[in-house]
Copies of this chain bind each other. A is one copy, B any other.
């Protein structure tokens, strides 16, 4: 199985699929091709929150603002999962999570390439062939490929950590999802036992609830989202707009 995630929209993912299918009968599963454009941090968040649910697979992740520069093509392994991505940190958080869940250590490699057909579409010309080759060699065995060499170092990416003190927390909006939910890095445990109480997020008040429908359509709420973090939401509406929050914004939560 090869999963595909990118910020390519349409129709560039098709060329990647074609290239892979010429080399491999692997099952292909689209994760998404609508990742926020050239936003490595958002891509790192969303792949961390989706790929660990998959069975063992080769995960191709292409969000690549450095395409055409000398950044490396990275291949990683955590247990029976492999990753193929630009060396910009995008798959480090998901690898760290899978390592924590499985006890396997992440291993990192460089996929050597020269003179791809384009300087602007390495998804097609570098990463898709790499994913097909890794899949065909096998996750446990891909370092037998001549193009694969150990990575001396690899670009890391870590999300900021929130600070919780009693009734207040300071954190950051990590991402806003497609529904407009503003997902912070404040751990959901901050809301433990506080359902029904009022929380202020940067001065905007909202009740703590466990279901969107606990408030009327269009009304604000704060809840623990499916990622385990505090989210600022609106029932059938956009929390980002109602709370005035964007990715990267500092957020102060206070009961």
- With CB as the reference atom, state the residue of chain B lying closest to A13: B32
- With CB as the reference atom, state the residue of chain B lying closest to A55: B22
A161 contacts chain B at the CB level, 8 A cutoff: no
Q: Is the CB of B15 within 8 A of A32?
A: no
Inter-chain CA distance A19–B50, complex, in Å, is: 10
Q: Is the CB of B179 within 8 A of A37?
A: yes
Q: Is the CB of B54 within 8 A of A35?
A: no
With A18-B55, A69-B211: A37-B236 Cβ-Cβ less than 8 Å: yes
With A32-B14, A50-B18, A120-B225: A68-B178 Cβ-Cβ less than 8 Å: no
Q: Is the CB of A211 within 8 A of B67?
A: yes
Q: How far is the CB of A96 from chain B (nearest CB, A)?
A: 18
Interface size band for A: 35 or more
**Chain B neighbourhood of A55, CB < 8 A:** 18, 21-22
Q: Is the CB of B120 within 8 A of A223?
A: yes
A31 contacts chain B at the CB level, 8 A cutoff: yes
Residue interface mask A216-231, B partner, CB < 8 A = 1: 0000000111100001
A157 contacts chain B at the CB level, 8 A cutoff: no
**Chain B neighbourhood of A13, CB < 8 A:** 32
B-binding segment of A3-11, A99-107, A162-170, A241-249: A3-11
A1-54 contacts to B, CB under 8 A, are 1, 3, 5, 8-15, 17-19, 21-22, 28-35, 37-38, 46, 49-54
- Which A residues lie at the B interface, using CB under 8 A? 1, 3, 5, 8-15, 17-19, 21-22, 28-35, 37-38, 46, 49-55, 65-69, 117-121, 124-125, 177-179, 210-214, 223-226, 231, 235-236
Q: List 19 A-B contacts (CB under 8 A).
A: A10-B32, A11-B49, A14-B29, A17-B29, A18-B52, A22-B54, A22-B55, A38-B236, A53-B124, A65-B213, A65-B235, A66-B213, A68-B212, A68-B213, A118-B226, A119-B223, A120-B223, A120-B225, A124-B226
